[in-house]
Amino acid sequence: MAEDGMTLVEHVARQVAAYDEIRPVYEVFAKVLSEILSYAVKDLGVTAIVQARAKDKASFAEKSARKRNTYPDAVNQLTDLCGGRIIVDCKDDIEPIRNFICEHFEITEEEDVFERLKTTEFGYRSVHFIVSLKRGELESILESLCKRQGSLEKQASFRTIVERLFERHAPAHQGEQSAFRGPKFKAEIQVRTLLQHAWAAIGHDRIYKSEFAVPKRWQRDAIRIAAYLEEADEAFSRTVKGVEGYRNYYGAYMSRKQQEEELERLEAVSRYDTENMPLAHKIARLALSLRHWKLAENKLKPFVETWDSNEAASPTRKASTLHSNHGPNEAELAGIIPKSLRATEMAAVLLDYGQAIWGRTKLAGCEYMERAFNLNPTNADACVAMAEADLEQNATDTALKWFEQAFRISPEEPRALAGFIFCKLAIERDLNSLPLIRPSLEAAVERCRERARVKVYLPWAYYDAGLFLLLLGKPYESLTSYVRAVCLSESEDAISKPMDWIQRLHESLGDKLPEIDWVRRLLILAKVGKLLNCASDADSSYQISCQTLKIADSELAKLTCVAYAEQDQKKIQLATDAKDKATAEVNRARQFADSCRSDTHNQINKYLTPLKSSNVPLFEAPVILVAGGTDKNVEQKMRDYQPLLETAFEDFRGTVFSGGTTAGISGIIGDLPDSTSGPIRKISCLPVAVPTGIKSHPRYEVYTSTGNVFSALEVIQTWIDLMARAIVPADVKILGINGGKITAFEFRLGLMLGATVGVLRDSGRAASALVEDEDWKDSPALLLLPTDPQTVKTFVQGIPSAKVLDQSHREALAKDAHEAYRINQKKRHIGRELAMGEWEELPFDIKNSNINQIDHIEEKLRIMGMQLRKCPQEQVRLIEFSANEIERMSESEHGRWNLDRLRAGWSLGERNLEAKKSPYLVPWLELPDEVKEWDRQAVTALPKMLKEFGYEIVRPHLRQG
């Protein structure tokens, strides 16, 4: 018997009867709770399972019986007679829901159960709230739910019960229990993750609520499982947070072509879903990335106008002058956070809408960016956008405040840190603050690298990292990052902003950070280099158009004769239209080429002329840069490459730029003998003062940079002087052997500018590191050369123009050579593959390689002192090559083949035609003899094959025959 004199059965019966009377109210409370929580997770953009229920009679009876001493009046004391549960994917989703509950409900109690666990414990985790409805909150949701109840009578009944949910107890009297204070109707809400729910439902309830003592070994198993789940929960949260962080840069992980294609797809879909704001926002973000300002503006405008017409937009107008002239401050930010559940989503739309208007006009749009920030003051992107708009108007002081606000909101965001540091340095004009933020700089570099690894926010991740590394005192890593950024910048416009920042820092800091000038010159080179290559491409397109016009003109003449003879006006018109089209294309190509040349000339005069050296020697094309090891530790190893380089530059005509000293590779280049046709021009840019112990090579023509020690500055200055004389980077080659940090930079700078870079893949240090560098190893202009003299020679000198062979015979001879190869390969029982197809079926690169084989004939003969002579076919005398001649010419042919394959994208590896892998891209001496035989047979067949076209091979003593 309890103190109230009733038996347990009587007590429970009395409580259940009382609960029966009030349970309909809790059932309505459960419906209301389910509706509100479902609405919340939807508007917060959280994926979640929502559950709500009133406690059933049996469950209430059991609890009132078991907890009689704790809750003698359970029907009035229990707070879980109505319960709601939100199960989210990961723990980071809990916080926005927690904020929502705290804002829109009256909270009697809140507890994070995790906080009850000791540091060595693992187990039940959940956030619990005891809540009641709050008058004036979420009334539209309650009214909507009421109207869905059916008849007016049912609606009235439902509304009456809802009104009861707001009832409160009378003020407490002295001695009255706390259960009879405040709201009468309370509910418990649990918020937990899927993994926390799994533990609660399976582990916690079945083990710790068991009716018997669970053995310790099972308890230990349960604790271990709880620990695993807790770690998994944390891992899920980290992963999701990382992925969602990248999702903010929608479109920034695509190439321009991919963006255009995706934009076209989304536009096609949006025609049938015009009210889909997330879809419109995706389109707008792609449009912004592509600088299609008007499209982005038009896509978002309907949603902005709808928002403006809604009362929910009113809070965004409370601080509409924040951006006027002073940036944000704490007092102004107070009290402007809106209650709208869609604040975050709409803030992003307003931000991009403002950026679209600003991008188009450079006059308006800031008000929308500001409203985006007011709507969501935790949005660092809005602060960055406002700051960048201020910078474009040279309002550096105001920009600093916005960047600082962005950095406070999101200290891990590199863009915020980069802008903050830039403005601070530009204003203060010293580096005193850098030691204080060094940890932030280092963390930001890692964040940028992380983004680059997953290919998002490019090229800006590399630009930001470049600035941070420069300020950390790592100039060569900084240059490498900037070089990579430029490679990923699809137009010279993308280079303009970082170039402007570096220029302003250079002006502010002067000699306090000399390496800033390296980066400044690098970005100028990049800007002009893209224009030079563009102008070169435009010239090529113009030449192709001219050829097309010649063909069209010839076809017109033929068709006109036929047409007039047949009196066929339709044919005449078709021919005339074809010529008119070709003429128009030529005119367009010429105009574009002229425009590119003019732009390039202007850029050279504006940027490069003030930087070019006044004492650089005159030089002539072709130009090749040779970079390699000069360190004393590799001196002997570099000398081993002397025979290879002598072969590579045999009879070379042109200009070689190299290191200018007697050390290592630069010394070998200096020692190269002149060719039979004249001296090889050797030029070098050296620092003003060559360090003690290092000797300038007397056979170089030397001029100086502004540097005082050997550095990247000489490499940059060389390119400035080349491009100031309108040398197109795509026409320049770089040969690399070994090398240190300066050489490593030289390779990457060449690739950035569009030069062809050939490195001896096994030569060590900088050259071998480039082969393994994930950022660069797959660059189309990078050729990983075998240590093979003839391959390197073909790289350096190309295939000399034919002097005797008629161009009209090239393809026919190539076709014959291919057919001979097919016959020989069939004898060896080689299976069907691309290179064994009919001539018409061959891929372009293989067909082109066959043509190059013919173009290379005169070079192979010249090596042996022989030449080609045109004569009547019946007078051709077939020559018979010696074994030595066949071997040497076959070696030359293999070098030519190696380079053709490398240029076509092939690489060394196990034979795989689809992946373009070949085991034969090796030096001649390492080639299996049966494979060498293929080249020997091709060389042996030359005299007979050439005779069919009236060509004779002549040895020196027979030239007068």
Read off the pLDDT of residues 88-129 as tens digits, 9 standing for 90 and up.
888 778 888 888 898 889 988 876 544 444 433 444 457 889
Planar angle of CA 910, 912, 918, nearest 5 degrees: 55
More confident residue, 494 or 796: 796
pLDDT at residue 323, rounded to an integer: 41
Residues 145-156: tens digit of each pLDDT: 999 998 999 999
Q: Which residues of 207-229 are buried (b: 16+ CB within 10 A; e: fewer)?
A: beeeeeeeeeeeeeebbebbeeb
Is the bond leading into 872 cis (omega within 30 degrees of zero)? no
pLDDT at residue 60, rounded to an integer: 93
More confident residue, 326 or 181: 181
Q: How far apart are CA 259 and CA 285, in angstroms?
A: 10
pLDDT at residue 552, rounded to an integer: 63
Long-range contacts of 337-344 (CB under 8 A, 24+ apart): 337/377, 338/312, 338/375, 339/103, 339/315, 340/312, 340/315, 340/375, 341/39, 341/40, 341/43, 341/44, 341/100, 342/43, 342/312, 343/375, 343/376, 344/45, 344/376, 344/379
Question: Residue 326: what are its φ and ψ, rounded to 5°?
Answer: -140, 0
Residues 131-170: tens digit of each pLDDT: 999 888 888 889 889 999 989 999 999 999 999 999 887 6
Q: How far apart are CA 872 and CA 366, in angstroms?
A: 80
Residues 559-604: tens digit of each pLDDT: 667 666 666 677 677 777 777 777 787 788 788 777 877 877 888 8
Residues 255-297: tens digit of each pLDDT: 778 888 889 999 999 998 888 888 899 899 999 988 899 999 9
The answer to whether 745 and 479 are in contact (CB under 8 A) is yes
pLDDT at residue 586, rounded to an integer: 77
Average pLDDT over residues 843-869: 88
Q: Which two tokens stand for residue 550?
A: 């010649």
Q: Which two tokens stand for residue 343?
A: 């604040």
pLDDT at residue 375, rounded to an integer: 87
The answer to whether 818 and 851 are in contact (CB under 8 A) is no
pLDDT tops 70 at residue 248: no
The answer to whether 670 and 697 are in contact (CB under 8 A) is yes
Average pLDDT over residues 437-453: 92
pLDDT at residue 622, rounded to an integer: 93
pLDDT at residue 41, rounded to an integer: 86
The pLDDT-based confidence of 401 (bands split at 50, 70, 90) is: very high
Residues 221-235: tens digit of each pLDDT: 666 666 666 667 666
- Mean pLDDT of all residues in the chain? 84
pLDDT at residue 274, rounded to an integer: 86
Ranking 365-379, 655-669, 831-845, 860-874 by mean pLDDT, the lowest is 831-845
pLDDT at residue 445, rounded to an integer: 96
pLDDT at residue 534, rounded to an integer: 78
Residues 20-29: tens digit of each pLDDT: 999 999 999 9
Place of tokens 């965001």: 413
Average pLDDT over residues 511-529: 93
Question: Residue 252: what are its φ and ψ, rounded to 5°?
Answer: -80, 0
More confident residue, 549 or 165: 165
More confident residue, 191 or 555: 191
Cβ-proximal residues to 676 (8 Å cutoff; 6+ apart), any chain = 651
Best mean pLDDT range from 41-50, 381-390, 821-830: 381-390
Q: How far apart are CA 669 and CA 627, in angstroms?
A: 10
Q: How far apart are CA 491 and CA 497, in angstroms?
A: 12
pLDDT at residue 639, rounded to an integer: 95
pLDDT at residue 866, rounded to an integer: 93
pLDDT at residue 957, rounded to an integer: 59
Q: How far apart are CA 320 and CA 315, in angstroms?
A: 10
pLDDT at residue 896, rounded to an integer: 95
Average pLDDT over residues 761-774: 94
The pLDDT-based confidence of 252 (bands split at 50, 70, 90) is: low
pLDDT at residue 218, rounded to an integer: 57
pLDDT at residue 405, rounded to an integer: 94
Average pLDDT over residues 712-741: 94
The pLDDT-based confidence of 451 (bands split at 50, 70, 90) is: confident
Ranking 285-289, 772-776, 787-791, 826-830 by mean pLDDT, the lowest is 826-830
pLDDT tops 60 at residue 178: no
More confident residue, 564 or 177: 564
Q: Which residues of 695-716 are buried (b: 16+ CB within 10 A; e: fewer)?
A: ebbebbebbbbebeebbbbbbb
The pLDDT-based confidence of 674 (bands split at 50, 70, 90) is: confident
Q: Residue 46: which of 344, 317, 325 has the closest Cα?
A: 344
Ranking 325-329, 555-559, 843-847 by mean pLDDT, the lowest is 325-329
